[in-house]
């Protein structure tokens, strides 16, 4: 008898979270303090990046943050970009800085990531934050993995002692998600298997059906099929792929890495694409910006410990 999965509604959850942030920001500004301020740097004119950044800026406005979008031409040199980042690092009125990826080939993304001050690194990509996250110390957590765990928590999905299969090992999604799922606390305490490009296809087919929770972040539409999912598993699809679709005005449709229709008949919970992990990532970016603001204003509970760790 096929199960019909419950939808993990990232769109609704992210709206709930944004409303919580908005209420907190309103209290802050009513007390006479300035609003949190996020700066986004966008290099070049990649259409997907423009749309992501626009969405982030709109969300800032919704919750009552100040926001600055700094556009730079794709011909900007690495040093010029780093100089801009340093300028925002030194600006006490800026709480969070993001540099939208991907960057043109002549710019090394790691150099950019490492130049952002860890206390303003609201994407949670800086090696200092990655190290703190790995050790389960307070820090700015990477936004997408944080969004995935937040979803599991708000839907009361147990993770302790469960087998979590993570497909993909990127620095921004797969690897940090695998670490956060195996750490102590809730959500976490899972037994984690991580797979990647060199995991043979047959192995992937053998490992995935062992997962109570399967988290997929690869960028290959339809990679995960129904045979790879055990009945009742929780399936989180991070993938966002533009697939040609002449019936759409834009000429493309957004698809995940999971074959949604057949898998949703076997899984107990599943994220849609779009409307699943994507909106949660934006909500966590806002949450990190608020946290960065609170740390610099002595308002975060974890303030002292974090200060010690960051210095």
Where in the sequence numbering do the catalytic residues fall? Answer: 56, 100, 123
Q: Lay out the site mask for ligand NAP across 232-271 (x = CB under 6 A, - = otherwise).
A: ------xxxx------------------------------
Note whether 170 binds ligand NAP by CB under 6 A: yes
Note whether 218 binds ligand NAP by CB under 6 A: yes
Q: How far is the CB of 142 from ligand NAP (least distance, A)?
A: 10
Q: What is the DSSP letter of 210?
A: G
Residues binding ligand NAP: number (CB under 6 A): 24
Note whether 204 binds ligand NAP by CB under 6 A: yes
Sign of CA dihedral 131, 134, 140, 142: positive
Exactly one of 169, 183, 255, 294 binds ligand NAP (CB under 6 A); which one? 169
Q: Which 1-30 residues touch ligand NAP, going by CB under 6 A?
A: none
- Applying CB under 6 A, the span of 56-64, 81-89, 183-191, 196-204 interacting with ligand NAP comes to 196-204
**DSSP secondary structure, 63-94, as one string:** HT-EEEEEEE-TT--HHHHHHHHHHHHT-TT-
Element of type H or E holding 270? strand 269-270
Task: Give the Cα-Cα-Cα angle 103, 107, 112 (nearest 5 degrees).
Answer: 85
Exactly one of 89, 199, 210, 296 binds ligand NAP (CB under 6 A); which one? 199
Residue 84 or 276: the one with the smaller Cβ distance to ligand NAP is 276
| Strand bridging mode 6-7 / 191-195 | unpaired
Please give the C-alpha separations between residue 300 and each of 19, 25, 29, 31, 304, in angstroms, as whole numbers.
Answer: 19, 14, 16, 16, 9
Note whether 162 binds ligand NAP by CB under 6 A: no
- Applying CB under 6 A, the span of 20-28, 65-73, 114-122, 212-220 interacting with ligand NAP comes to 212-220
Q: How far is the CB of 166 from ligand NAP (least distance, A)?
A: 9
In 3-state terms, the chain is what percent helix, strand and coil (to 5)?
45, 15, 40
């Amino acid at each position: 008898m096929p199960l019909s999965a419950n939808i993990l509604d990232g769109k609704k959850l992210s709206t709930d979270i944004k409303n919580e942030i908005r209420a907190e920001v309103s209290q802050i500004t009513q007390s006479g303090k300035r609003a949190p301020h996020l700066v986004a740097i966008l290099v070049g004119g990649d259409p997907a990046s423009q749309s992501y950044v626009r969405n982030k800026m709109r969300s800032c406005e919704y919750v009552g943050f100040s926001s600055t979008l700094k556009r730079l031409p794709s011909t900007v040199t690495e040093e010029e970009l780093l100089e801009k980042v340093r300028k925002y690092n030194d600006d006490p009125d800026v709480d969070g800085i993001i540099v939208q990826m991907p960057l043109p080939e002549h710019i090394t993304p790691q150099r950019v990531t490492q130049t952002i001050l860890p206390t303003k690194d609201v994407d949670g990509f800086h090696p200092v934050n990655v190290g703190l996250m790995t050790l389960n110390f307070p820090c700015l957590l990477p936004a997408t993995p944080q969004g995935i765990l937040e979803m599991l928590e708000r839907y009361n999905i147990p993770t302790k002692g469960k087998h979590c299969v993570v497909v993909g090992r990127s620095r921004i999604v797969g690897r940090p998600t695998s670490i956060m799922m195996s750490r102590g606390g809730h959500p976490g305490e899972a037994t984690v298997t991580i797979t990647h490009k060199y995991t043979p296809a047959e192995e992937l087919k053998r490992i995935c059906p062992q997962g109570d929770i399967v988290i997929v972040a690869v960028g290959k539409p339809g990679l995960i099929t129904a045979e790879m999912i055990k009945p009742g598993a929780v399936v989180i699809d991070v993938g966002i792929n533009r697939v040609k679709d002449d019936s759409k005005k834009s000429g493309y449709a957004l698809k995940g890495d999971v074959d949604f229709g057949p898998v949703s008949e076997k899984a107990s919970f599943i994220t849609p694409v779009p409307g699943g992990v994507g909106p949660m990532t934006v909500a966590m970016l806002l949450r990190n910006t608020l946290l960065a603001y609170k740390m610099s204003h002595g308002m975060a509970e974890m303030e002292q410990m974090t200060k010690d760790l960051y210095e």
